[in-house]
Amino acid sequence: MDSFINAFLAYFVMVDPIGISLIFNALIAGKTVAYGRTMAVRAVLLSTLLVLIFAFWGVNLLTALGIEMESFKIAGGLLIFYTAFGMITKPDALKEDSRNELFEDISVFPLTIPMIAGPGCLTLTVLLFSDARDQGGSFLPLVAAVISIFTIMLISLLLSSSIIRIIGRTGNNILKRLLGVLLASLAIQFIVDGVKGFLN
């Protein structure tokens, strides 16, 4: 249960279902409900598949490239910290003119990559699953956390217009900054673990 909760919170902060739902609502402005539903389902399915691929074969890819896990922990921690720092300090990224960048199929770009399963999410995935492998733990809580988060993501996308009415941009900004502090702490822990690995 601890593994599930830790992974769930880490993914929730990194993926940010509420924030992405606000951007998604702007991207589908002027489109039909069926179009929005199709893009949401397709993007979540693609993101889930991509994350699970990195979960089970990401370490093998690093090994093939000659990258040690300690190095990846430090680099990944820095990347996640950069993401967290941006969440805390940068203004709201939602732009009124985002609909001008709309493509016919937004499920792959920009929804799946880089918004939902971006570099930070994939890095977090490799780190969490590699730690579980090193400690002899089960992957089941981590997979359950991934499925749970992307289920929440799908619900958030489908209810994006309602979320905007309830939470608004101000509420999202406050939530994003609070979660950014937690994500920064997680990033520092990854860096510390990587340094300890080198020292040992």
Half-sphere exposure of 79 (CA within 13 A, CB side): 16
Cα 83 from Cα 78, distance rounded (Å): 9
Diameter of the chain by CA atoms? 57
Q: How far is CA 94 from CA 27, 67, 89, 108, 199, in A?
A: 10, 36, 15, 19, 43
How many domains, the chain?
1
Please say whether the beta carbons of 21 and 160 come within 8 A.
yes
SS (H, E, C) 10-39: HHHHHHCHHHHHHHHHHHCCCCCHHHHHHH
Q: Give ∠ CA 22-184-149 in degrees, rounded to 5.
A: 45
Q: At what angle do helices 119-134 and 2-15 cross, to 10 degrees?
A: 170
Alpha helices in the chain (DSSP H): 2-15, 17-27, 33-64, 69-89, 119-134, 140-158, 160-199
Tokens of 143: 């997979």
State pTM to two decimals.
Answer: 0.75
The residue segments making up the domain with residue 171 are: 2-199
pLDDT tens per residue, the chain (200 residues)? 888 999 999 999 889 898 889 888 878 877 899 999 999 999 999 999 999 999 999 888 888 888 887 887 888 788 878 877 877 887 654 444 444 444 478 898 888 987 899 878 988 999 999 988 888 888 999 999 999 999 999 999 999 988 878 877 677 677 778 777 877 887 888 888 889 888 87
User: Quick one: DSSP state of residue 96?
Assistant: G
Cα 81 from Cα 194, distance rounded (Å): 14
